[in-house]
Structures are given as C-alpha cells and as structure tokens.
C-alpha cells in the first residue's frame, strides 16, 4: 500500500476515533489483528461492544466509503469480532456486541467533508 493511502487511512481512523469518543464510546482497542483479519476500532458504550470498520475516501471516483463495504467484508468483520471477544475472555453469546462502520469522506484536496457513524449494522 502506498504511503499516501496509509496516511489517508490513518487520518480517517483518527477522525473516526475522535467522532466515536464525542458520541460517548470508549475506544478500547485500535488496529487489533488476528489470523483472519483486523478490527479498526473496538469500542464500548452502555455495555455494548461495537467493532468498527473505518472506510476513508478522498473523492467519489470509486464510490462512497459506505459502498466499499461488501457482504464478504461484513461476514469477515463478524468472524473477527467473535475472535476478538473470545481472545479477550468474553463469551460471544453472553456479551452484547455488534458491527459498525465509520465512513470518512474528504474532498480531492483532503479537506474533511463528513464523518458518518453506522453502529447498528449487525
């Protein structure tokens, strides 16, 4: 991945974490990796775990950030969230949890246009 894309992704994740904190989420973990994938942000609010995928786009040449989350990606996010919970000693059937997406959109010059939180996807 190019340095430009890495910087854009990092900036998007920082903006997403700031927005989630503003909305009352406690950021518990960032960029947690396991053999099947990665959780961009693991957050806790009101005893509910939410595992967020952060999608950042500059311009709409490749669609919106939301459009980049495929059904296959959603399925993998569920698997990674289950792995996270079990790895951290939490019973996947006894803990309230869900999958979310944070869409970060910037203009062609890198100016922030919006940060949208979707926290009840699954």
| C-alpha distances in Å from residue 77, one per residue of 44, 58, 110 | 16, 23, 27
| 92-106: pLDDT as tens digits | 999 999 999 999 999
89: buried, middle or exposed (CB in 10 Å: 19+, 13-18, 0-12)?
A: exposed
- The verdict on domain 3-118 having CATH code 3.40.1350.10 is yes
**pLDDT tens profile 3-32:** 877 788 899 999 999 999 999 999 999 999
pLDDT digits 0-9 by tens, 44-55 = 999 999 999 999
Q: 44-87: per-residue pLDDT in tens?
A: 999 999 999 999 998 777 788 998 999 999 999 999 999 999 99
Every domain of the chain and the residues it spans: 3-118
pLDDT of 122 over the 70 cut = no
């Amino acid at each position: 991945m190019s340095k430009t894309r890495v910087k854009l992704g990092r900036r998007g994740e920082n903006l997403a974490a700031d927005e989630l904190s503003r909305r009352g989420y406690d950021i518990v973990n960032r960029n947690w990796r396991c053999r099947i994938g990665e959780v961009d942000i693991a957050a806790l609010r009101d005893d509910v775990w939410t595992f967020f995928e952060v999608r950042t786009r500059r311009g709409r040449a490749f669609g919106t950030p939301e459009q980049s989350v495929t059904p296959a990606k959603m399925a993998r996010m569920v698997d990674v969230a289950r792995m996270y919970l079990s790895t951290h000693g939490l019973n996947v059937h006894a803990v309230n949890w869900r999958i979310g997406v944070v869409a970060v959109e910037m203009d062609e010059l890198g100016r922030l246009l919006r940060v949208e939180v979707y926290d009840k996807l699954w």
